[in-house]
Amino acid sequence: MNITDLKYAGILSTRLDRFSIKSYSPYRANMRCPICGDSQKSKTKARGWILEKENSAIYYCHNCGASHGMRNFLRAVDHSLYNEYIIDTALEQGERRAIFDKKKEEPIKPLDKLQMKAPNFRKRGSPLLKIKKVSQLNFSHKGKIYVQNRQIPASKQYKLYYASKFNEWVNSIIPGKLPTVEYDRARLIMPFIDKQGNMFGFNARAFRDDELRYITIMIDETMPKIFGLDDVDFTQKYYVAEGPIDSLFLSNAVAMAGADGNANGLENIENAVFIFDNEPRNKEIVARMEKCLDKGYKVCIWPKNVLQKDINDVIMTGVTQASLELIIDNNTFSGLEGKLQLTYWRKC
């Protein structure tokens, strides 16, 4: 199924009642029909389907007979998503036209060396063009399987990339950064991108347990080690997670590689909620939480009934994003109250 339809099917998965993916290839998802409301007598009836047909998504309800392509389905159930879909579709079509445009380009005028600017790593020649987005991988691909097993939402998979030969790819960006190896391993790439679309670094996750789990490499050392700057809204409440993958399960979030409580690069810090791993016996994590509380920041202090180590582990138990954020919001503290709660938590 095309990337745009898959993205919006993923967004709908958190908004439609009893949404359940039955298969990925071809894509088949079942839900209660948001158009007719499905059965009023039985709340378990789910007769709406999103199906893959000729690389696109169609919606069909076996109760009311509604039949729509993704565009018209979104227009019927969520007009704001419909507007976003129109924009994304137009952008995708524009990219296709640019690729197949056979017109001659205008001669490139020579530039004065003093006018040269730092490269934009999302434009032509971007290192990200040498690797694939996870959203573009086949569902049988090991990178896709890894992401699916961790239950990362389909609507967020476009932010992740797969580098089949990690060292080779890194050295194509920063020559000599990593040693040349005979067996170059694959890694999951989580790029750090700013509001202007510039990639200034990345976090890489190993697929094998016998390797260093995470590697962070900065292209621009003057930038903060933050994942998610490209789409976070600092004017609203936002979450600051400990790792990039954890941030993908939250509605408005960034992740700080290193998570040392340093707020450099964050804006409107009064809107931030810092979320650390649920490890009360880890002295380093406790020290980071204390540092945030000393600075007056808001910190999530996990309740006793949450036994999982991190956000991803909580999601793996079947908790929804809405429920997860409710847990976090109900257990967010600051100031003296936060320090008191931290004292109780570290004794768990």
The half-sphere exposure of 13 on its side-chain side, counting CA atoms within 13 A, is 20
pLDDT (mean) for 8-20:
85
CATH number of the domain to which 308 belongs:
3.40.1360.10
Q: Measured between alpha carbons, how far is 9 from 87 in angstroms, rounded to an integer?
A: 16
Asked whether residue 333 falls in the same domain as residue 244, the answer is yes
Mean pLDDT on 243-260: 87
Distances (CA, A) of 142 to 3, 126, 146, 163, 167: 19, 24, 6, 12, 19
Classify residue 94: in a domain, yes or no.
no
Q: Which of 70-79, 84-93, 192-201, 249-258 has the lowest mean pLDDT?
A: 84-93
76 and 8 in a common domain: yes
CB burial class (10 A; 0-12, 13-18, 19+) of residue 19?
middle
What are the DSSP calls for 312-335, one per residue? HHHHHTT--HHHHHHHHHHTEE-H
The confidence score (pLDDT) of residue 41 equals 80
User: Are 137 and 213 found together in one domain?
Assistant: yes
Shared-domain flag, residues 261 and 310: yes
Decide if 310 is inside a domain. yes
CA 213 vs CA 54, 188, 209: distances in Å: 39, 10, 7
Residue 189 lies in a domain: yes
Nearest alpha carbon to residue 173 among 134, 116, 129, 228: 129
Q: Is residue 144 a part of any domain in this protein?
A: yes
Q: State whether 12 and 59 are in the same domain.
A: yes
Q: Are residues 211 and 245 in the same domain?
A: no
Instruction: Compute how many other C-beta atoms are within 10 angstroms of the C-beta atom of residue 178.
Output: 15
90 within domain boundaries: no
pTM above 0.75, yes or no: no
Pair (209, 281) in one structural domain: no
Q: Residues 160, 200: one domain?
A: yes
Residue 111 counted as domain residue? no
Contact 147, 134 (CB under 8 A): yes
Q: Name the band, by pLDDT with cuts 50, 70 and 90, for residue 112.
A: very low
For residue 97, being part of any structural domain is answered with no
Q: Identify the domain containing residue 69 by its residue range.
A: 3-83
**Which of 244, 217, 222, 220 is CA-nearest to residue 232?**
244
Lowest model confidence (mean pLDDT) among 28-37, 91-100, 310-319: 91-100
Residue 44 lies in a domain: yes
Number of domains forming the structure of the chain: 3
My answer on whether 242 and 216 are in the same domain is: no
Question: What is the DSSP secondary-structure string of 205-270?
Answer: EESSTTS-SEEEEESSTTS--EE-TTT--TTS-EEEESSHHHHTTSSSEEEETT--S--TT---GG
Q: What is the pLDDT of residues 256-283, one digit of tens each?
A: 876 555 678 899 999 999 999 999 999 9
From 83, 103, 136, the end of a domain falls on: 83
Shared-domain flag, residues 137 and 77: no
Does one domain contain both 267 and 330? yes
Residue 27: per-residue pLDDT? 86
Same domain, 257 and 338: yes
Range 173-188 average pLDDT: 93
In this predicted structure, what is the pLDDT of residue 258? 62
Q: Which single residue is written with the structure tokens 């992401």? A: 147
CATH assignment at residue 140: 3.90.980.10
